[in-house]
Amino acid sequence: QSVLTQPPSVSAAPGQKVTISCSGSSSNIGNNYVSWYQQLPGTAPKVLIYETNKRPPGIPDRFSGSKSGTSATLGITGLQTGDEADYYCGTWDGSLSAEVFGGGTKLTVL
Amino acid sequence: QVQLQQSGPGLVKPSQTLSLTCVISGDSISSNSATWNWIRQSPSRGLEWLGRTYYRSKWYYDYAASVRSRITVNPDTSKNQFSLQLYSVTPDDTAVYYCARVEGPTTFDSWGQGTLVTVSS
């Protein structure tokens, strides 16, 4: 089981909004930046959010990140069928001295 | 634009050594701000960080506890690449292996294409 906890799946209709949660502890999310990655089938993960709430160039502002205490959230508005993918959160864990990830959330756009 | 190109065998026998190489273009393995990482992904383990190397006036190495006794990540400055060696593999090491760069705090911003490595006799 993964150090960070994500829901296995979420779904919403096109045009709607969805949030994906990522729960951790004080040794990881509570004291470090969080990143979010999107993984399309057969491809490597791609960073969507870095330093908890920043978007790399080219990532639309439909994607947003936030954190409260030991939990982080990825928000996606204006859902499109092309957003169907697996989403992962990741951060550094100071107790483990290791990068850690969530188990991933499969987004279905109905 | 940083690009990472992986190479290595897709099939390894149990008890043998898994060896992969990641060639870097668009950055230097000796960068003072990047770290160079290996990550694997399998249905049973999800995304699992394995280890990293980085240069800050000297070379540093960090490894995940789960593989620390049987892993080596090595830089090769002459070829601007780094490698992964995982010793004494078992079928449980079957996974897609990725190399990845971290630039800045803890974000994997560039990834290799991935290599499916199957451990089987």
Q: Which residues of B sit within 8 Å Cβ distance of A?
A: 37, 39, 46-49, 62, 64-65, 98, 100, 104-109, 111-114
What is the secondary structure of A62-73 as a DSSP string? TEEEEEETTEEE
Rounded Cα distance between B55 and B18, Å, is 24
pLDDT tens per residue, range A20-32: 999 999 999 999 9
Of the candidates B46, B49, B111, which has its C-beta nearest A99's C-beta? B49
pLDDT above 90 as % of chain A: 97
Residue B30: what pLDDT?
A: 96
pLDDT tens per residue, range B59-116: 999 999 999 999 999 999 999 999 999 999 999 999 999 999 998 777 999 999 999 9
pLDDT grade for A1, boundaries at 50, 70 and 90: confident
Residue B103: what pLDDT?
A: 87
B45 or B29, greater pLDDT: B29
Of the candidates B37, B65, B112, which has its C-beta nearest A96's C-beta? B65
B106, A96: Cβ pair inside 8 Å? no
Rounded Cα distance between B25 and B81, Å, is 9
Judging contacts by C-beta atoms under 8 Å, the chain B residues touching residue A27 are none
A35, B108: Cβ pair inside 8 Å? yes
Name the strand (E) or helix (H) holding A40: none
pLDDT tens per residue, range A45-100: 999 999 999 999 999 999 999 999 999 999 999 999 999 999 999 999 999 999 99
Residue B45: what pLDDT?
A: 87
Buried/exposed B19-55: b ≥16 CB within 10 Å, e otherwise? bbbbbbeebebebeebbbbbbbbbeebbbbbbbbbbb
Residue B104: what pLDDT?
A: 75
